[in-house]
Chain A
């Protein structure tokens, strides 16, 4: 496999469920990102991991919990979400956090009922 792979592509969950989104990059990059894409809004940066250390958290609610066990894998753990959290969640990677463009996965479409 090449590029950035996200699973699942679609997820429907109730507000009391716990689920996780997974991202894997096969590009040898050192930085990985979670973005939230909602209709008619700019992409919102949620988390950045560089060399497996979290370096940014833009005041994201604690019901979103990231995990980065190594430089190739990134998870977003979800629990007690709200309907307004329904969105497309995009994972991206870059060579490192200082240079290079972002390479995105295809996204995980989340619907919270």
Chain B
């Protein structure tokens, strides 16, 4: 079946460290891929997205590349800040014409000053 697998957290980093959060997926067809972020006490916000293979999504210094050959969409940031502390969700939307979004379990990131 269709699924999204994320690395388990929490991930704890020092400020200015490099961040990678792994995400792999299983899906039929050619899904669109998303990263959402949830700050404490808030709902989810779209961080970035990619709609086809080899697309790179980027926003606020975060990047992720749609890798069809490895069915992955890993999130990276070169230098994290304390304000990046949040829960990050990888998600996919199945091929167009459907409303089915499938989310991972989320990875909590804690950045220490």
What are 18 A-B pairs with beta-carbon distances under 8 A? A6-B43, A31-B99, A41-B105, A43-B103, A48-B99, A55-B99, A56-B99, A90-B43, A92-B44, A94-B99, A98-B98, A101-B46, A102-B36, A102-B46, A103-B46, A104-B45, A105-B43, A107-B43
- What total of chain B residues lie within 8 Å of the partner, measured CB to CB? 22
- Name the residue in B36, B98, B101, B104 with the highest tally of chain A Cβ atoms < 10 Å from its Cβ: B101
A104 near B99: Cβ-Cβ < 8 Å: no
Which chain B residue shows the least CB distance to A40? B105
A102 near B44: Cβ-Cβ < 8 Å: yes
- What total of chain A residues lie within 8 Å of the partner, measured CB to CB? 26
Q: Taking the complex as formed, is B89 at the interface, i.e. its CB lies under 8 A from any CB of chain A?
A: yes
How distant is the Cα of A40 from the Cα of B34 in the complex, in angstroms? 19
Residue interface bits A69-111, CB-to-B below 8 A is 1, else 0: 0000000000000000000001010100111011111110000
B34 near A42: Cβ-Cβ < 8 Å: no
Q: Taking the complex as formed, is B49 at the interface, i.e. its CB lies under 8 A from any CB of chain A?
A: yes
Q: Taking the complex as formed, is B4 at the interface, i.e. its CB lies under 8 A from any CB of chain A?
A: yes
Q: Contact partner of B98 among A6, A97, A105, CB < 8 A? A: A97
Q: Taking the complex as formed, is A25 at the interface, i.e. its CB lies under 8 A from any CB of chain B?
A: no
Q: Taking the complex as formed, is A13 at the interface, i.e. its CB lies under 8 A from any CB of chain B?
A: no
How distant is the Cα of A90 from the Cα of B99 in the complex, in angstroms? 16
Given A43-B89, A94-B99, A99-B96, 15 additional A-B pairs, CB 8 A = A31-B99, A40-B105, A41-B105, A42-B4, A42-B102, A45-B101, A50-B99, A90-B43, A97-B98, A98-B98, A98-B99, A102-B46, A102-B101, A104-B43, A104-B44
Task: Report A's interface with B, CB cutoff 8 A.
Answer: 4, 6, 31, 33, 40-43, 45, 48, 50, 55-56, 90, 92, 94, 97-99, 101-107
| Docked complex: B1-38 residues within 8 A CB-CB of A | 4, 34, 36
B97 near A106: Cβ-Cβ < 8 Å: no
A106 near B105: Cβ-Cβ < 8 Å: no
B96 near A98: Cβ-Cβ < 8 Å: yes
Q: Taking the complex as formed, is B41 at the interface, i.e. its CB lies under 8 A from any CB of chain A?
A: yes
For the complex of A and B, list the 5 residue pairs with the smallest distance between their C-beta atoms, beginning with the closest: A104-B43, A97-B99, A43-B103, A104-B44, A106-B43
